[in-house]
Structure 1
Amino acid sequence: MAELKRAHSWEISDSESEHEPGAPAEPESACSRAEPPPAPTVRCSDPGDRRRGNRGGDREGREERERQREEKDRRRQERVRQKEERERQKEEKRKAVERVKRLKPEEYLKTVTVNIHPVLLQDSGCDVLLSTLAGLEWRSRIEEHNLTHTISWSRDLPHTEDEDGSVVEEDQVLMVVTQMEFVDMMMSIRQALIGGCEEAESLFQPLCDYLNRNTGIVLSLLVTGGQYCQWGVSYDDDNEDEVCPRSQLGLHNLDIEEVLVYLQLYKNVTVHFLFGWQEVMDHVCAVTKALSKRPFRTLQEVPDLGFCVDGLWAGGVRVDRSGWGLAQVWTRQIQQLNRVSVAMATAVTTAYPSPQLLLQAYERAASAEERCGLLADVTVRGGAKERCVGPELSGRVHRLMTSQKPELVLD
């Protein structure tokens, strides 16, 4: 029998790595090798996913660029709008300055024309007026008007966006008549006032027709050739028959005054009695200068409040955000009533520091008499002795605080 050889080492196959059931597990050898952790799985990116990711990033980039472009356009439009607004304001200021400059009297006189009716040229004294206007370098024109014997004014508007360069007629008109023509007018007026008589032929009827057609005209009647003052009073009583038209009419001063009052009240015509054309020229120059100053003064005038009086009282009271000053305003409101002193107004506002408190006191009153006399017993301190507000002022304050009628008279 052949001799059996013993193996020096055991070779364990993979099939024998599992122990048999019930067999004790062999201790792991120290020299045994630990099993390495599994390597992380690296997923290979899909080209389609990369394209979708790039496409989403490009869309966000385009949207961001669009937003930036819109913001830049908006800022540019805002700058353009602000620039246009500044240019518009600058242009408005320039036009306002030019408008104010044109309204100055020295500039305004350059646009005014004095219109003289040809009938006035028949009087030799009219040469004084024409030569004076030429010496002052004022424009004058001889033309017929709707009313004879008149001097009127017109001004040329400049060619601007707001104004079309037309001619505007002023509301002032002077009618120059001689003493005899005025006597005829007085006779016509007297016959019209008496009634039942046919009016004498004079300039009064054309004057009435003209005033009926032009209601806004301010007409003045200049009577030349006599030393006669208004209201029938002569400068020289000794030579009354020579200088006054009363002798030619056979009328008394009362009759003449009646005619003058009729012209003033019913026709709004003022009568001026002048010595001659020298005074007529002075009157025309005065009216022309007054017309040249009127637009500039109207521009500078600030309309005052009709219910405010002049003086420091109308200066007002400053009220800050904390409410300081309201008590003084409340005192001023009571003081605006007639015959109410500072002491009386202070007594009312001290008893009731606010209008709301006074209204609540009125609501708590049982009757109308009690409400009207609520402030009657309030003591007024100041002066020689103390006194009460009284029922009269108490009733006025009650009407002021509770009345719903705007036309009610408080006093």
Structure 2
Amino acid sequence: MSLLRRTATWEISESEGESDSEIKSKSTYDLPKTDEPITQRIQTEKCDAPARRSEAQNFRDNLSVPSTVAPSTPSPGKRRRRTKEEIDADKLNLVQKKKVREKLRNEKAQEKEKKRQEQHRRKQDAERLKCYRPENCLKCLTVCVDSALLQDERSDILLGSLFSLEWKTTIEEQQLLHSITWTRDLPQGEDKPSPVLEEQVLMVLTLNDFLDMVVSINHAEQKGTEEVAVNSLFKKLSEYLNRNGEKVVTLAVMGPNPNSWTLCSRRHEDQMLRPQMGEEGSDIEEALVFLQLYRNTSVIFLESWQGLTDHVCAITKALSKRPFKQLTEQDNLPFCLDGSWASGVRVERDGTGLSHVWSRQIQQLNRVSPAVAAGVSSAFPSPQLLLQAYKDLDSEVERKGLLADLLAKSGERERRVGPEISNRVYRFLTAQNPELVLD
């Protein structure tokens, strides 16, 4: 009975998708059809029972919960206790990494500070250059007029023009009598003390004062400077120049040009001048040459105070332009200047551009094209190499024709340099006679 019930239950478990009627029919009628007797089948089932129980036991063992007993090998998630040497090594490694990070941080900070200082320096240079521009430098100039010049009523023309231009003007006693000087205020950041005294000095003289100075110069040339009167203007001028050797004095004579003077004429003015110049007359040109050569003093003749005012304004404007020109001028050679107007080549500090200078120097010879100069400079990149090549040759003929077979490429055309140009380059580099004509 138990076997039949088990078989029916097994058949029911395999027919889950069938209907109830089918299940009933199978459970009732679908018994295994076999010709062997039931007792034999029961014995077969009993023999197979131990094997089935062993399979069931294995299946339950596989489904059982794993044991909680700790394995013999350590778990990979559990950390091993470190030794003191390992801890010290890790600390040392951390300290080294910290030092490296600190060093990188300091280098970045220094680089950033360097960039900031460079930007600040460039900004200061730009502001300094802006202060030295003529329109701004003109505002820093002060025209200093000697108070003795105000005794002439026509001096109002000079002062009125200076005030109308809104230029700084001071009236004070000067070291040199009847003189006009200039001072300039330096921008902030300059090491020199401010204000700076300009080297230009303009001494205003009347015609009679200038003639007295000419007479004093004649006496100085004939008898020596010690014979000159103490109160003469020439004596005062000489003492001032001896104390201030860097000054450049210009004498502004209020009167006609001496080239228009005729001492032998019958005019009353000339008759008044003749006693002052002496019986034999004074050579004014020699006095002018003496002042120019020995005292570095030039003389200009102005017809009126308006001419003097224009001259003072011209000097003031020129002084306002000079600092900017001095700040921006270059000391390079003419053929090294940067500018297409002069066909110049810029030479950097690392020597970049010297090969172009060498090519331009060859091109300065007559009838030497840029292609020929480029061919010579490519074969011998410097004058020293070409001179060494000349020294290595034995005969003069070989030296003169050294460059004759070099190729000069001009676009798609090629031609030889030729013996004529080769000979001229050789004479240009080796000739000892400065008067030698190369062509």
Check the 8 A contact 2:142/2:184 in 1, yes or no.
yes
Distance 1:271 1:341 in 2: 48
How many angstroms does 1:284 deviate by?
A: 1.4
Q: Deviations over 1:245-265 (max 9, x none)?
A: 854525789811111121112
Q: 1:214 matched to which residue of 2?
A: 244
Check the 8 A contact 2:363/2:369 in 1, yes or no.
no
Distance 2:272 2:328 in 1: 45
Q: 1:134 matched to which residue of 2?
A: 163
Whether 2:320 is the aligned partner of 1:292: answer: yes
One-letter code aligned to 1:242? E
Distance 1:261 1:139 in 2: 35
Q: 1:120 matched to which residue of 2?
A: 149
Q: 2:333 aligns with which of 305, 311, 314?
A: 305
Check the 8 A contact 2:401/2:422 in 1, yes or no.
no
Q: 2:60 matched to which residue of 1?
A: none
Distance 1:317 1:168 in 2: 35
In the TM superposition, 1:182-331 aligns within 5 A as 182-195=210-223, 198-200=227-229, 201-224=231-254, 226=255, 228-229=256-257, 232-234=259-261, 241-242=268-269, 247=274, 248-249=276-277, 255-306=283-334, 314-316=343-345, 331=359
How many angstroms does 1:205 deviate by?
A: 0.7
Q: TM-score, normalised by structure 2?
A: 0.63
Give the number of the structure whose alpha-carbon radius of gyration is greater: 2
How many angstroms does 1:189 deviate by?
A: 0.8
Q: Deviations over 1:70-104 (max 9, x none)?
A: 23322322332233223212221221222122212
The runs of 5 or more residues in structure 1 that have no matched partner are 1-41, 45-49
Distance 2:392 2:149 in 1: 76
Distance 1:387 1:254 in 2: 65
Q: Deviations over 1:363-407 (max 9, x none)?
A: 2306xx6677666999999xxxx97459776444335xxx9xxxx
Moved more, 248-257 or 202-211: 248-257
Moved more, 265-274 or 98-107: 98-107
Whether 2:197 is the aligned partner of 1:169: answer: yes
Q: TM-score, normalised by structure 1?
A: 0.67
Distance 1:43 1:390 in 2: 94
Would the alpha carbon gap of residues 153 and 340 (structure 1) be closer, same or farther in structure 2, given more than 3 Å must change? same
Q: Deviations over 1:106-151 (max 9, x none)?
A: 3223322222222222222222222322222222222222221111
Q: 1:107 aligns with which of 128, 136, 139?
A: 136
**What SS does the aligned partner of 1:315 have?**
coil
Q: 1:67 matched to which residue of 2?
A: 96
Distance 2:426 2:397 in 1: 10
Distance 1:179 1:307 in 2: 49
Q: 2:119 matched to which residue of 1?
A: 90
**What SS does the aligned partner of 1:262 have?**
helix
Query: Percent identity over the alignment?
Result: 36
Indicate the structure with greater helix content: 2
Check the 8 A contact 1:234/1:240 in 2, yes or no.
no
Would the alpha carbon gap of residues 300 and 177 (structure 1) be closer, same or farther in structure 2, given more than 3 Å must change? same
One-letter code aligned to 2:296? N
Moved more, 346-355 or 203-212: 346-355
**What SS does the aligned partner of 1:120 have?**
helix
Check the 8 A contact 1:112/1:155 in 2, yes or no.
yes
One-letter code aligned to 1:342? V
One-letter code aligned to 1:217? K
**What SS does the aligned partner of 1:215 have?**
coil
Moved more, 297-306 or 347-356: 347-356
One-letter code aligned to 2:306? Q
Would the alpha carbon gap of residues 280 and 158 (structure 1) be closer, same or farther in structure 2, given more than 3 Å must change? same
One-letter code aligned to 2:327? L
**What SS does the aligned partner of 2:283 have?**
helix
How many angstroms does 1:181 deviate by?
A: 0.9
Q: 1:362 matched to which residue of 2?
A: 391
In the TM superposition, 1:364-379 aligns within 5 A as 364-365=393-394
The runs of 5 or more residues in structure 2 that have no matched partner are 1-71, 75-79, 409-417
Whether 2:151 is the aligned partner of 1:151: answer: no
Would the alpha carbon gap of residues 373 and 306 (structure 1) be closer, same or farther in structure 2, given more than 3 Å must change? same
Q: 1:397 matched to which residue of 2?
A: 429
Distance 1:71 1:89 in 2: 27
